[in-house]
Structure 1
Amino acid sequence: MPANKSEDFGDAMRALMAPRSVAVVGATERADASSSFVMRNLMRFGYRGEIIPVHPKAETVFGYKAAPSLSSLDAAPDVAVIGIAAEKVIEALDEAGRTGVKAAVVLASGFAELDEAGRERQRQLVEIAGRYCMAICGPNCLGLFNLGTGAALYSSSLSTNLEKGRFAILSHSGASAIALGNTGRFGLSHIVSSGNSAATDIPEYLEFLATDEATSAVGIVIEAIREPGKLARAMMKMHAANKPVIALRAGRSARGAQATAAHTGSLAGSNEAYHAFFKRVGIIEVPDMDGFMETATLCLSLKQRPTRPGVAIVGVSGGGVAHVSDIADEAGLSLPDLQPETITKIKALLPPFATPQNPLDTTGVVFANGDIYRDVLHSLAGDPSIGLIVAAQDAPAGLDDFCASEYLGIAEAVSAYAETGKAPVVFMSNLSSGHHPAVEAKLPDVPVLRGTKSTLAAIAGLIGQNPVVSWPGMATAARKSLPAGALTEREAKALLAAEGLPVPSEKLVTSPDAAAEAAKTLGFPVAMKIESPDILHKTEAGGVKLGIASEAEARAAFEAIMASARAYAPKADLRGVSVQEMVTGGVEALVGLVRHEPFGLGLVIGIGGVLVELVKDSAFDLLPIDLARAEALIGETKLASLLDGYRAAPKADRKALAELLVKLSGFAARYGGDIEAVDLNPVAVLPEGKGVRILDALIIPRTDGKRDAGPAIETER
């Protein structure tokens, strides 16, 4: 985007998010009209900018002088709220653009979510936005609300209990925005219900909020990502501003991968692609609204980010901290053992029967003396392996005031520690209903979180968040096209070998005698496989024979393979039999590529062989990957244990497998535009120092007629 165009759009976003004047097109006093809600919300929340009702006949609306049209105004308003039927929106929007309006909110439904006519209407809306460099919220949305200025461009009821604060909510769903905004857990700077987000989507809102002084953190409720590159760039700006972003994705149920013919398609669904993307760009993903609330509360109230991954859990009940410890393990948190110096300090503070460890039961002594609890926290914070402390303390809301008072000393101790403590502390209730109000009141500067699972997942998300956009560089490679039509295994291997991926020697034969001669030349034993672009999984077709040890066996195997293949697929194009160098020993791995739009290709690694569907062991990441990420991916699988010598087996060449993953990433850089999926199964990982071999290969070309211009994510403008 040219600099002047970018500046113009920046002005348009400011006009949308912080307008100084608002025109409401279709303004009416009819109670059920969307424009009526907007007018009343503007008045109700004390918007101080200019309000201009636009109606062809009315003289006033809610006491405000009406204008017959936008073009009749002496000066263009910052934003026009289009509160009329979908069929009339395009005309009104074009008038707004011609008049010089910088931004618009289109409330009506009846666009791409409806039918073909709606999709055409939305295409015209996007064209108008581009022509006039307008920022447009919607269509099919509730609108947006700037709590700092009272600019409530919102077409539904808004509670006056909404508190002004530093958290912004961006949501494709209006209902989710309202639900999350009205919990009372934190104050809000902005609420945006963006609906179809046809012309202005989450990345544009994030770029605005990155420089918005009223916003410290952002939560997004997202149904789909259309342009990953834009979102990655927006996240670079959010990280630069030290503003965390939380994401709750709607529609996460698996619908099956596009590449159903490849094993990798069944292993890595769209959820894995979204998880990988969020991790790469440093967005904290949450599973549900409870997780959203606790993560938002944590991000807003934590004074400092943990500098180490280790977490200490402290409480007054052995059973209680054990329960928390179990769930911490499920959340993937690290609970490191305490250093000897830390143990010595804690022993000096607690009764002789206490056991200084992580998790730590302080015993009930702290009820009588809160200073002990405070000093225990300081001792834990001094441990070099501890980055954050969780004070797991229930004080249920249903307690009477007398019983609640027993917990006030602990709360005061945590609060006192937080003033000078070296490691951040979180005060947690195991109950989602939270703490007694009197206890919470003692913790004004401490994150007070609710529910064990949601709290620990929030902590894990924050600790595991990548605070930068991490996208490894990919070496520039000349783009290549796949040969036309379906590829056989041998043809697929030839393409892979040309890019430096290791494959066994092989030869295509079309007669029993040729099979015997090829086997003799390659050296016994050999493997023999059917050669056909129409038979993807050869084992099921009886098209594979292994361990062929003589010329006679090779002739017989040729006849058997051809007969089985004809019976399995009578109409298949049978081109002969591939006689291959027999590779024995090692660990069988599955390596593959699978496409998930809009992210492009991702890589799958896991246990391979004939049991791949049964074991379902895999790790996934988007491309490109470098050697460090390849090694980390292997470490995320059960395959890693096999490679490292499970049950005294010899170690396999893990380094060579990691190098193969990087080479496959490079292969995707050349051919990825034409690829739907790649299935390398099995890949034989030979003993340490002996390398790897691709024993079977399936490349599935794209059939949608599209071709990538390059890697799915580019973070450079």
Structure 2
Amino acid sequence: MPPPAARPSLAPLFDPRAIAIYGASSDPSKIGGRPLDFLKKSGFDGPLYPINPKASQIQGLPAYPTMAAVPDAVDLAIVAVPAPAVLAALEDCAAHGVRGAVVLSAGFAEVGGPGVAWQEEMSALARRTGMRVVGPNCMGLINVRRRLLGTFTPSAAGFGLVPGRISVVSQSGAFGGYCLSLIRQRGLGLNLWITTGNQCDVDVADCIEHFALDAETQVIAGYLEAAADKERLFHALALARERGKRVVIMKVGRSEAGAHATASHTASLAGSDQVYEGVFRQFGVLRARSIDEFFDTAYAAASPAPLPQGRRLGVLTVSGGVGALMADVAADVGLDMPPMPEDAQRRLKALLPFCGPRNPVDMTAQLVNDLTLFERNFEVMLQEGRYDVIVAFLSSVGLVTELGRGILEQLQTVLQRFPDRTVIASMLASTEVRQMFEQAGVMLFDEPTRAVRAAGALVHYGQQLQKRALADMPPPLPAGALPPPVQVVNEVEAKTVLASAGIPVVQERVAMSEDDAVRAAADIGYPVVLKIASPDIAHKSEIGGVIVGVRNAAQVRAAFRTLRERAHTYAPAARIDGVVVAQMAPPGVETILGVAHDPVFGAVLMFGVGGVFVEAFQDVAFRVAPFGVAEARAMIEEVRGKVLLAGVRGQPPADMEALASAIAALSVYAAQHADAIESIDINPLLVLPRGQGVLALDALIVPRSAA
């Protein structure tokens, strides 16, 4: 996919030399007064210019009637005037060289009426002048290092922000303000913060791209309601992955009610949530399902601790019960908890005869009587257990400063020997002890299961770092690939197209008479399957339109007549192209492979293991086309039904490599013809035993023109 056209940088927004406040007020409690009050009190290091024709002085600063009267160059304008006056203010800014504007004012596309046209004019102005415009209907932005508080949210009052490596973008202003309060409350290190509102110009993708290029940002945390520009979002996420940024996104709209709420909230349309899920997996984004997970992930990802190189988790605990709870959560997030080696278990037993040495390793409450147990247990686990990450649950030890200090000193001693390992502590702790741990670069969580989930997040980012080093280019489209049909065709014609695109298909022919059917069966070889050939009957089995296990000419003739009668009875208006005679497929695992046209992302691929898993449990994985074989393998790994492909109850393992190749090949064809295809259904795609390939047994192609 070619990169989208370059747009002017967001640097004037986040790093301005001077700021003008349009609609500035002398009352710090008003929207036009708060940003100026915050900027003055926070100590922003550049000049501030209130713009208000009704005053000569505002909050102790000279006021100016328009931008033309300002004596110096201004990079950023914060606009807080009534909606009908916003466009004139932006024109004034653009005419005098302002390169960025934050429109706090509401009353645009989110409320309808004339606001829709005003917002469209704002978008046109931004495109025409190159001035980057945030909003309207947003809460502004912050650059902590510059002490720039370009916002009116009460969450910014008093500053109280610590410079750090996390940058936040929120499509929702209210959620962005809430995030800011939690960031202050938790003492997280913040770099940049922005809310995009109605996104007349600057959108979430623009901000992710800016954060990806920002040297001070390590973690990109985003709240997303709906994407507006597929290419720009993909470019931003790919850039973040390329630059090694750790991205966590909370995407709302999973439920029908949630999707409706986001659409009405910011005049956006939410796409299919399953497709968003696939996009996030495709670009290594960790999707948070709760606010706690959102912030816990950001906190852990911003830690200076090394990322785990594998999925092996060790749990060290003072409570067997809590250790079991942590093990359950580890299984939920896909972490492995292999037991300690037998020799190591004996060594741990020698240290403390009544400990639990397996994994979780239970030190019991004896730790309080002998703190050296912590260092010795930890060293054995790292040296002999070779765990990639260890979570240590220490109950309330951190509420006693001396105990907390002693634990930290022992932990630092061990980590000097194992600097490549990741360690997370979980305990109740005083503010002093928490600060000691975090200043030493050790993550600390109050609640142990949240610590385990954070470990899972770090393992995810570690795997993405390894995956980034592996090229996964989409395969080439076969030279003889046929174009998709312009109208719905029968399954034989559909499979002919798919075969040309690199999808193996079953041997078959369309017979127009009983004699044709008998000749086709003889050529193919018995036993055979007979099916109604019709572009109008998508689900033939539902009307008895498939007869399997036909073993001789007499059965072929009888089956041919039966199928024609059933088609006439159950689908009298359907076009009948004849009867398909196909080889009887060998045993294998039925899967489903499909293409759908998503209004936001275009051609998307769906994969699932056939039968009850797909229909009853919606056990499917999605990706946006095109992609390579490695991404196809990741899709297969995501579905729960993959166990059937591994071989169960004595069945041989399925040909996973051939399946992945077929998925990648279809993704390339779907992307090449995204404008012409509404959907493709290959159901079933039979996966044969390892080394024998795959076969498309049935297929349907619906062109966009026929949708």
If the length of structure 1 is used for normalisation, what is the TM-score? 0.86
1:504/1:581 contact within 8 Å kept? yes
In 2, the alpha carbon distance for the partners of 1:590 and 1:237 equals 32
| 2:378 corresponds to | 377
Question: Following the alignment from structure 1 to structure 2, what is the Cα–Cα distance between the partners of residues 504 and 307?
Answer: 43
Task: Describe the superposition over 1:552-588 as per-residue Cα deviations: whole angstroms up to 9, x where unpaired.
Answer: 4334433433333344344333333222222242222
Conserved 8 A contact 2:475-2:665: no
Partner of 1:125: 122
Does structure 1 residue 293 correspond to structure 2 residue 292? no
The alignment status of 1:425 with 2:458, answered yes or no, reads no
CA distance in 2, matches of 1:612, 1:209: 38
Structure 2: distance between partners of 1:670 and 1:405: 65
CA-to-partner distance for each residue in 1:19-53, whole Å, 9 max, x for gaps?
Answer: 22111222233566422222222233233322212
Q: Which residue of 2 aligns with 1:278?
A: 280
Q: Tell me, yes or no, if structure 1 residue 226 matches structure 2 residue 228.
A: yes
Match of 1:162 among 160, 163, 166: 160
Q: Does 1:95 align with 2:92?
A: yes
- 2:167 counterpart of 1:177: no
Q: Which structure 2 segments of 5+ residues have no match? A: 260-270
What's the counterpart of residue 267 of structure 2? none
Which among 149, 156, 159 is matched to residue 146 of structure 2? 149
Distance 2:644 2:347 in 1: 42
Aligned to 2:24: 27
- Report the CA distance between 1:137 and its aligned residue: 1.3
Distance 1:551 1:384, change over 3 A: same
CA distance in 2, matches of 1:644, 1:419: 42
**Residue number among 506, 509, 526 corresponding to 1:507 in the alignment:** 509
Q: In the alignment, does 2:132 pair up with 1:138?
A: no
Distance in 2 separating the partners of 1:52 and 1:256:
41
Provide the C-alpha distance between the structure 2 equivalents of 1:211 and 1:514, rounded to a whole number of angstroms.
Answer: 65
Output the aligned Cα RMSD.
3.2
Separation in structure 2 between the aligned mates of residue 91 and residue 704 of structure 1, nearest angstrom:
46
Secondary structure, counterpart of 1:492 in structure 2 = helix
Q: Closer, same or farther in 2 for the Cα pair 1:569/1:112, shift >3 Å?
A: farther
Structure 2 vs 1, CA of residues 497 and 210 (structure 1 numbering), >3 Å: closer, same or farther? Answer: closer
Q: Please say if residues 474 and 664 of structure 2, whose CA atoms lie closer than 8 Å, have aligned partners that are also in contact.
A: no
1:192, 1:670 → 2: CA distance? 36
* Structure 1 residue 427 displacement after superposition: 0.8
Partner of 1:81: 78
Determine if the alignment matches structure 1 residue 457 to structure 2 residue 453: yes
Percent identity over the alignment? 32
* Superposition deviation, residue 311 in structure 1: 1.6
Cα pair distance change 1:568/1:178, threshold 3 Å = same
Q: For residues 162 and 703 of structure 1, what CA distance do their matches in structure 2 show?
A: 58
- Could you tell me how far 1:609 is from its partner in structure 2? 4.5
Matched residue, 1:443: 437
Q: How does 1:601-680 map to 2 (within 5 A)?
A: 601-609=603-611, 612-614=614-616, 616-680=618-682
C-alpha change, 1:566 and 1:110, in structure 2 (3 Å) is: farther
Residue 395 (structure 1) aligns with: 396
- CA 1:124–1:337: 2 relative to 1, 3 Å: same
Tell me the distance in 2 between the aligned counterparts of 1:594 and 1:19.
44
Q: State how far apart, in whole Å, the 2-side matches of 1:56 and 1:600 are.
A: 49
Partner of 1:352: 353
CA distance 1:686–1:704, change in 2 (3 Å):
closer
Quick one: structure 1 residues 632 and 63, their matched pair in 2 at CA, closer, same or farther if it must change by over 3 Å?
Answer: closer
CA contact (8 A) 2:329 2:453 kept: no
Q: How does 1:271-350 map to 2 (within 5 A)?
A: 271-339=273-341, 342-343=344-345, 345-348=347-350, 350=351
Deviation at 1:635, TM superposition (A): 4.0
Deviation at 1:208, TM superposition (A): 3.2
Is the 1:415–1:443 Cα contact (8 Å) retained in structure 2?
A: no
Structure 1 CA distance for aligned equivalents of residues 613 and 623 of structure 2 = 22
Q: Is the 8 A contact 1:408 1:438 kept in 2?
A: no
Corresponding residue number in structure 1 for 2:488: 486
Q: Which whole-Å deviations, capped at 9, do the CAs of 1:265-287 have from their partners, x for residues lacking one?
A: xxxx9333323322332323211
Deviations 1:195-241 (A, max 9, x none): 12231123332343345455443311122233344344444554565
**Aligned 8 A contact 2:425 2:451 in 1:** no
- The amino acid of 2:101's aligned partner reads A
Please tell me the residue identity of whatever aligns with 1:50: P
Shift of 1:645: 3.0
Deviates more, 1:99-108 or 1:539-548: 539-548
Identify if the C-alpha distance between structure 1 residues 586 and 211 changes in structure 2 by more than 3 Å, giving closer, same or farther. closer
What code does the residue aligned with 1:643 have? L
Aligned residues of 1:338 and 1:358 also touching (Cα < 8 A): yes
Supply the AA of the counterpart residue of 2:98: V
1:502–1:693 contact (8 Å) kept in structure 2: yes
The Cα of 1:169 is off from its aligned counterpart by 1.7
Alpha carbons of 1:63 and 1:631: their partners in 2 closer, same or farther (altered >3 Å)? closer
For normalisation by structure 2, the TM-score amounts to 0.87
SS at structure 2 position matched to 1:646: coil
Cα displacement (A) at 1:639: 4.4
Structure 1: give runs of 5+ residues left out of the alignment.
Answer: 258-268, 706-717
C-alpha deviation, 1:490, in angstroms: 1.8
Which residue does 2:264 correspond to in 1? none
Instruction: Output the CA distance in 2 between the equivalents of 1:143 and 1:222.
Output: 16
Work out whether residues 366 and 410 of structure 1, in 8 Å CA contact, stay in contact via their aligned partners in 2.
no
Give the secondary-structure state (helix, strand or coil) at the position aligned to 1:81. Answer: strand
Deviations 1:399-443 (A, max 9, x none): 7x7xx87666445543554565432311124xxxx5444653552
Does the alignment pair 1:581 with 2:583?
A: yes
The worse-fitting range, judged by mean Cα deviation, of 205-214 and 134-143 is: 205-214
Is the 1:394–1:435 Cα contact (8 Å) retained in structure 2? no
| Cα gap change, 1:609 to 1:224, in 2 (>3 Å) | same
The separation in 1 between residues aligned to 2:635 and 2:220, in whole angstroms, is 29
Single out whichever of 96-105 and 568-577 deviates more from structure 2: 568-577
- 1:425-472 deviation line (CA, Å, top 9, x unaligned): 11124xxxx544465355242211233443322221221121365772
State the alpha-carbon separation in 1 of the partners of residues 679 and 452 from structure 2.
36
Aligned to 2:111: 114
Change (3 A) 1:89 1:621: same
Is the deviation greater in 466-475 or in 366-375?
466-475
Give the match for residue 364 of structure 1: 365
SS at match of 1:34: coil
**Among 45, 57, 61, the residue aligned to 1:60:** 57
